[in-house]
Structure 1
Amino acid sequence: MLLVIDVGNTNTVIGIYDGDTLKHDWRIRTIRDSTADEFNVLANALFSDKNIDRKNIHKIIISSVVPSAVPILNAFCEKYMGLTPLWINPNSVKKLMPILYNNPNEVGADRIVNAVAAYDKYKTSLIIIDFGTATTFDVISEKGEYLGGAIVPGVMIASEALFQKASKLPRVEIFEAPEKIIGKDTIESIKSGIIYGNAAMVDGMVERMTKEMDTLPRILATGGLAPLISKISNTIEKVEQSLTLDGLRIIYNEIGNK
């Protein structure tokens, strides 16, 4: 079995693959100051809950945008799994996808993984929107080249800044969109602005990016708030929630056994 781990700024997503089948996956809070021993306790609990024998895990691949997590997870893999993980970086995937950034090393590992997974599945030009700590737009050519993208403050980060800086505005939970865009009270107005506003931003960015691409890309979304925003967006065609995990599996299958 293959253990895949994607460390984001807010959440860490973990998956177990048996061949090409995702058997189990978990989303946990990213802990920046834990130790390998503490991560092992957490992993034990997750594996035990699903009756997973870690002796059946023979391969590990990790992507991370949190530098402090690298030595922690590296130590966990070597000490408790007896395995050396494959770490994602632009150089490790350049044979699978040319990265046409001015400096390829600046592209986040998760963005590369998403791009590889999406192109492997759709084999066409794409715009991938990942609703994470930041909302990222990644643009892929018809030839499977990573062209670049855009980075926007994430929905929750922007919301938190609003609540902190506007002292009279109440903190609201963003679980569902109000029925109407024109709010009739403060809470409805905040929800409308955050949810419909982000959907409009997505549609505007997609429209402008599509004009620059001179093609008709497929528009995919992933990340925690992708299902909510996709219901309102006029451009998002499909939500692919396991995109990052699938990308890690694909990359390992292509380069991990070489």
Structure 2
Amino acid sequence: MPDLAIDIGNTGTKYGIFENDVLIKQGYFKEGDLPQDLLAYTFDNAIVASVAGKPQTIKARLAVSGSFVELSAQTALPVINKYKTPQTLGADRIAGAAGAHYFFPNRNCLVIDAGTCITYDFTDNQAQYHGGAIAPGLRMKFKALHTFTQRLPLVEQTSENLILTGQTTQESIESGVLTGTVAELQGIINAYTERSPDLVVILCGGDAGFFESKLKGRIFVIPELVLIGLHRILTHNV
């Protein structure tokens, strides 16, 4: 029977179905709208990680014959968690670290998850997760400029191009958010690379495609990194 990994995020829920450690199907749904793909299966084991919703609601509707793991600070991990406050650590962040360690064991890894927030997470070549940083994502920045000012418009990202010198208010906002965030990512990558010359940089999250072609150096884009990391945590616990 297959295994199931579910990642409940700030804007929706992703799921991955695994057969013999291979991700065979994945999807996305809004809270409470469980897809037929999941209701049609009886799963061997399952894991749910949440930064927003309540895993119990989903758990009650799934058929799982074996273990059901709700990822928490007490869950055993395939990496060593050095975070000072593990009880406050986002489940998606530690899952991304587990996924990075799975793909690149014995390497220093920086995971950049570009979603609602942009998170940076560092795992060293001894499989020790140290933490990282949390910053606003692109849409959050656009919304904040509109919400916390009197006259700036709400700009929706419409271009893949970077504008350095905006010649209208909209272009200036796009320059500040898009060009500024690319510079932020590149600066953090450079800082980690100075500390760890053999650094592996992994990009995931909904905005990974936007950043992929705009960053210098070798970047691995693994969109399903968090789901794969969750499954590695699940197999570590069963």
Distance 1:210 1:93, change over 3 A: farther
Residue 92 (structure 1) shift? 1.8
Distance 1:175 1:119, change over 3 A: farther
Residue 84 (structure 1) shift? 5.5
Please tell me whether the aligned partners of residues 45 and 64 of structure 2 are also in contact (alpha carbons under 8 angstroms).
Answer: no
Which residue matches 1:59? Answer: 45
Which residue matches 1:253? Answer: 235
Counterpart-to-counterpart distance in 1, 2:159 and 2:221: 16
- 1:181 equivalent to 2:164? Answer yes
Q: 1:47 aligns with which of 2, 26, 37?
A: 37
Counterpart-to-counterpart distance in 2, 1:184 and 1:149: 35
Unpaired stretches in structure 1, ≥5 consecutive residues: 32-38
Which residue matches 1:161? Answer: 144
Letter in 2 for 1:65: V
Which residue matches 2:93? Answer: 111
Matched residues, percent identical? 27
Deviations 1:76-115 (A, max 9, x none): 33xx656662111233234x11111122222211111110
- 1:206 equivalent to 2:193? Answer no
Residue 17 (structure 1) shift? 1.6
| Large movers: runs of 4+ above 3 Å | 80-84
Residue 141 (structure 1) shift? 0.5
Distance 1:81 1:141, change over 3 A: closer
- 1:72 equivalent to 2:73? Answer no
Which has the larger share of strand?
2
Look up the SS of the partner of 2:135 in the other structure: strand
Distance 1:62 1:236, change over 3 A: farther
Look up the SS of the partner of 2:156 in the other structure: coil
Letter in 1 for 2:46: I
Unpaired stretches in structure 2, ≥5 consecutive residues: none
Q: Over aligned residues, Cα RMSD in angstroms?
A: 2.3
Length-normalised TM-score, structure 2: 0.88
